[in-house]
Amino acid sequence: MSIRAILVLALLTAAAVAAAAIALSTGRNAEQDPRIGALVFPGLNDRANDVATLKVESGYGVLTLQRAAGAWTLKESGGYSVMPVKANGSILDLATLRFHEPKTVRPEKYAKLNLLDFDAPGSGSTRVTVRDNDGAMLAELLVGNSKFNLPGTKTGGIYLRLPVEKQTWLAAGGLNLSGIPGKWLEPVVLHVAGERIKRVEIRQPQGRPVIITKRNPRVLVYHLNAVPAGYKVRYDEEPKLIATNLESFELEDVRRAGAVKFDPAQTTRTVFETFDGLKVTAVSAVVDGKYWTRFVAVATAGSQAGGEARAITKATKNWVYRIADYRGERLTKRFAAMVVPGS
């Protein structure tokens, strides 16, 4: 046998060994797997309207979305409203996932794809389950890493594993199943345009109150009142940031009223008054390192703001909201932190 023939034979042998190794690691020959291109959950689209719960378990905790009478709520957040477009879109995303390429079947390689069993030590997977009203399972999977560039697709892909299988997959499609409550909940609690605010008063259990005012609705500048001689406002924009804090006021999480206990000695009351007679009071405290607040709204006698006050009260009276740190800091600002020596 010639040297050239020997080299060709060696190359063919190496290619065969490599192909066998790939087939062994993925569980089967990728080109022969009948599921390639098939829906991961072929019956889910037809039963999308039967979905009663979508459960997402991740490193952030457990989120259980529940649907009743067409409305979605989040169990762990006291049954607060979930954005329907987000919940319904997630069901559609699951229903349109397609098997794209089989990956490893070797458990020691699952961690690289974040596809260890959810309860395994060090697991970074997300466990997703979808059930109907009778509790029957409509979809169940472990979600791992994303692949943002997947040739031949517009959505990219994700790595997944069906819990009853060793086979892992790269699936075509996108999932955005966040473990953060605020990514699901209806975000805006209330909205009061900043130009309407006439006066803000922040009262802490101890210390001097913060009072911020504006002369009329057309004026853009807010003033911190009673700044002592020899002092000035630390940041010129801060009075405005505090006064406009109720614009598109968003939550991060929420609980039923009474579920989060405020220590009276650590509770701040912030009153926003508008030029047209609306008065919104935010009662705020830091609990377990997070800012929480609840609202009360009233209207001055004879004003046109009565309907708005009633609407705010109806929407917020049963809830206490966890909010972003910057929102909480503006609701609880201390006078001493707003001024510095100067003129």
CA distance 291 to 286: 5
- Examine the pLDDT at 231 and tell me if it is beyond 90: yes
Q: Note the pLDDT of residue 20.
A: 42
- Examine the pLDDT at 301 and tell me if it is beyond 90: yes
- Examine the pLDDT at 2 and tell me if it is beyond 90: no
CB 85, CB 187: distance < 8 Å = no
Q: Note the pLDDT of residue 150.
A: 87
CB 325, CB 300: distance < 8 Å = no
Q: Note the pLDDT of residue 340.
A: 97
Q: Note the pLDDT of residue 23.
A: 46
- Examine the pLDDT at 11 and tell me if it is beyond 90: no
As given in the structure block, the two tokens for residue 212 are: 């911020």
CA distance 180 to 173: 21
**Domain residue ranges of the chain, discontinuous segments joined by +:** 32-183, 188-341
Q: What is the pLDDT of residues 259-282, one digit of tens each?
A: 999 999 999 999 999 999 999 999
- Examine the pLDDT at 208 and tell me if it is beyond 70: yes
User: pLDDT band for position 25 (50/70/90)?
Assistant: very low
The position carrying tokens 């001055």 is 300
CB 295, CB 308: distance < 8 Å = no
CA distance 52 to 72: 9
Q: Which residues on adjacent β-strands are paired with residue 127? A: 57, 142
CB 138, CB 132: distance < 8 Å = yes
CB 309, CB 183: distance < 8 Å = no
| Selected residue with higher pLDDT from 233 and 3 | 233
Q: Note the pLDDT of residue 220.
A: 87
As given in the structure block, the two tokens for residue 204 are: 């802490």
Q: Note the pLDDT of residue 3.
A: 58
- Examine the pLDDT at 29 and tell me if it is beyond 70: no
**Cβ-based burial of 160 (10 A; exposed 0-12, middle 13-18, buried ≥19):** buried
CB 185, CB 251: distance < 8 Å = yes
Predicted model pTM: 0.87
